[in-house]
Amino acid sequence: MASSLTSADPRARLLALAEGRGISLSQLSALIGRNASYLQQFVRKGSPRKLEETDRRTLARFFGVAEGELGAPEEISSIPEGKAPRVGWVAVPRLALGASAGPGALADDEQPVGAFGFTADWLRRQGLEPAMLSAIAVAGDSMEPTLRDGDEILVDRTPRPPRDGIHVVMVEGALLVKRLDMGRPGTIGLISDNDAYSRVDLPMAEVRVIGRVVWKAGRL
């Protein structure tokens, strides 16, 4: 570690947290929607000088620490002074592939590029099993305004009969995020929330339902 980094420095704290969790700075950069070298430059070169509030909050929640440890003013730290860091957080892998809300994205890569942190208690109250969850990015505009290009979605892959609602599906090797209509026997209706896109009805055998979308995150 560079000699300019001290234990009180949020850059040093972030690096220590990453090393302790066995996750790279490039993976953490992907977690907050930045380019791969963003946090490497923050830690090694001090640029940017401090983390933006939304980035800092996401990282603090992922590691289960106070925002103050990553450079937030004391008054907005998520853990009161003297309290232990929060425990009981679950890391949900963020996959490199995307679910297209447009023409379709090929599903040829399922390697994690980071993770999102959720509290085990929240997942339990939602009836979600951590091992069946993954996060992916939305690409395209066909699900606007519900889902926008670049939004991150949490997908529950628990096997269950298809039902109405927003799901990630695979059609001819491409991943799509669509609203399903199961009202016609033997057919799955793929509906876009954006009126510029037409409904598509396909035989059930031609559609593989990957999972149900249960949460989303996106920049304002």
Q: What is the CATH number of the domain that holds 127?
A: 2.10.109.10
Examine the domain organization and report whether 153 and 103 are in the same domain: yes
Residue 1: per-residue pLDDT: 37
Measured CA to CA, the distance from residue 128 to residue 121 in angstroms comes to 10
Residue 3: per-residue pLDDT: 34
Residue 7: per-residue pLDDT: 38
Count up the domains in the chain and report the number: 2
User: Can you give the CATH number for the domain in which 33 is found?
Assistant: 1.10.260.40
Asked whether residue 149 is assigned to any structural domain, the reply reads yes
8 A C-beta contact, residue 164 and residue 212: no
Residue 82: per-residue pLDDT: 38
- The residue behind tokens 């933006």 is 52
Total-model pTM: 0.58
Residue 110 Cα distances to 107, 118, 134, angstroms = 7, 21, 10
User: Which tokens go with 196?
Assistant: 């510029």
Residue 203: per-residue pLDDT: 96
Examine the domain organization and report whether 102 and 48 are in the same domain: no
Examine the domain organization and report whether 106 and 209 are in the same domain: yes
**In which domain, by residue range, is 126 found?**
89-217
Examine the domain organization and report whether 100 and 62 are in the same domain: no
Measured CA to CA, the distance from residue 153 to residue 207 in angstroms comes to 20
Examine the domain organization and report whether 108 and 199 are in the same domain: yes
Residue 104: per-residue pLDDT: 54
Q: What is the pLDDT along the chain (220 residues), one digit of tens a residue?
A: 333 343 368 899 899 988 888 888 988 888 888 888 899 999 988 888 888 877 887 888 788 777 778 886 643 333 333 333 345 677 787 776 566 665 555 454 455 566 777 788 888 888 998 888 888 888 888 999 999 888 888 999 998 888 899 999 989 888 899 999 998 989 999 999 999 999 999 999 999 999 999 988 765 5
Examine the domain organization and report whether 60 and 120 are in the same domain: no
Residue 36: per-residue pLDDT: 85
User: Which tokens go with 88?
Assistant: 């009981």
